[in-house]
Amino acid sequence: MHKKDCFYLGKIVKKYSFKGELLVKLDTDEPELYDGLESVFVDLRNNLVPFFIESSQLHKSELLRIKFEDVDTEQDADSLLKCDLYLPLEFLPKLEDGKFYFHEIIGFKVEDVNFGAVGIVKSINDSTSQPLFEIDRDGIEILIPMNDAFIKKVDKKKKIITVDTPEGLIDLYLDNV
């Protein structure tokens, strides 16, 4: 299994007991969807290694208390601290129309209702307080906030995102060219 075929589920943040239990900080708005998993992939030195789950339960809303098979001591648990967890993409819940996962829209064309063709989504920057479309327009990077007020339509079949950005936003990136 490769990371490109998976999505990031969360990070092992601390030990829970002396019997090898761990707490995972889930990266989701719906942690209850991931209670009762049978297995996950753990990123160990850039290799995804499958780990089978003996038991798991939600702990204080966004944490998942997890007990892996064959992880029975504090030392075993120590070796997994700060490791990232992944699941195959097919485990992602289906979204309603107009909603999307970030990985789905890489390569989509972006069109602005006033400006016209903007460029191609090359990545999503979610390290800021509001995620940004990182769009390539013939080698020029254009950043557009992923604001619900700006996103008018997402056509997954045609791979087009239609936006309505404030006047002049796109021109800011093109004026110095």
Residue 134's CB is within 10 A of a number of other CB atoms, namely 17
**Alpha-carbon gap, residue 142 to 136, rounded angstroms:** 6
pLDDT tens string 36-94:
889 999 999 999 999 999 999 988 777 999 999 999 999 999 999 999 999 998 888 77
Q: Residue 10 is which amino acid?
A: G
- Domains defined for the chain, CATH in brackets: 3-89 (2.40.30.60), 102-174 (2.30.30.240)
Cβ-contact 133, 123 below 8 angstroms: no
Better pLDDT: 103 or 125: 125
What's the pTM value of the predicted model, to 2 decimals?
0.67
Is residue 159's pLDDT more than 80? yes
Residue-wise DSSP of 87-142: EEGGGSPP--TT---GGGGTT-EEEETTTEEEEEEEEEE-SSSS-EEEEEETTEEE
Write down the mean pLDDT value for the chain: 91
**Alpha-carbon gap, residue 53 to 66, rounded angstroms:** 7
Q: Is the dihedral of CA 147, 175, 141, 160 positive or negative?
A: positive
